């Protein structure tokens, strides 16, 4: 049987309290509410020649990352495993999670997947994917009529 919780109007959060809670939940504790790993935060930039994706994946080893490109959708997935668990300890705070994550993002332009480069340094993954020739800007020369 479901419990029904009745709230008084004075129990609702003020706007400031709601914003503080949102900030705490999304920035300070960026983990899923179900105990899973949140998708990594990314930056996606487009230059004249390439599409560059930077993803924050702290605490993950490069070997535990999987990067796939299907059509115009880039997918980054991986798994965080626990290196040490203290079975005889009582945890008072436990915010570091283990589990798998997946992030899919559509790319703004067609890329050449065979020439993509992935670099990993200090928990930051940087993918540089050159644009396909048809996606690059082309200069058109204007001729003057005589």
Taking only the tens place, the pLDDT of each residue in 37-91 is 677 889 999 999 999 999 998 888 899 899 999 988 999 998 877 766 777 888 8
For the question of whether the overall pTM of this predicted structure is more than 0.75, the answer is no
Q: What is the CATH number of domain 37-83+97-134?
A: 2.60.40.790
Judge contact between 107 and 73, C-beta under 8 A. Answer: yes
Neighbours of 106 (CB within 10 A): 9
Q: How confident is the model at residue 13 (pLDDT cuts 50, 70, 90)?
A: low
CA 73/CA 51 separation, integer angstroms: 12
Residue 111, judged by CB atoms within 10 A of its CB (0-12, 13-18, 19+), counts as: buried
Residue 121, judged by CB atoms within 10 A of its CB (0-12, 13-18, 19+), counts as: exposed
Sheet strand arrangement including 50-56 = 42-46, 50-56, 124-130, 117-121
Q: Where are the domains of the chain?
A: 37-83+97-134
Q: How confident is the model at residue 109 (pLDDT cuts 50, 70, 90)?
A: very high
In the chain, pLDDT over 90 holds for what percent of residues? 38
Q: Identify any residues that bridge with 66 across adjacent strands, giving them in sequence order.
A: 77
Q: Name the more confident of 18 and 123.
A: 123
Query: Torsions phi, psi of 128, nearest 5?
Result: -115, 115
């Amino acid at each position: 049987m479901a419990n029904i919780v009745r709230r008084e109007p004075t129990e609702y959060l003020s706007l400031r309290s709601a914003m503080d809670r949102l900030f705490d939940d999304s920035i300070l504790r960026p983990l899923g509410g179900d105990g899973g790993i949140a998708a990594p935060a990314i930056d996606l930039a487009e230059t004249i020649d390439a599409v560059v994706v930077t993803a924050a994946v702290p605490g993950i080893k490069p070997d535990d990352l999987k990067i796939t490109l299907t059509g115009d959708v880039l997918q980054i997935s991986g798994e965080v495993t626990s290196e040490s668990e203290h079975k005889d300890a009582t945890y008072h705070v436990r915010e570091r999670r283990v589990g798998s994550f997946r992030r899919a993002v559509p790319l703004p332009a067609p890329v050449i997947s065979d020439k993509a480069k992935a670099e990993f340094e200090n928990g930051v993954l940087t993918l540089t994917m050159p644009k396909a020739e048809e996606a690059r800007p082309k200069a058109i020369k204007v001729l003057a009529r005589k």
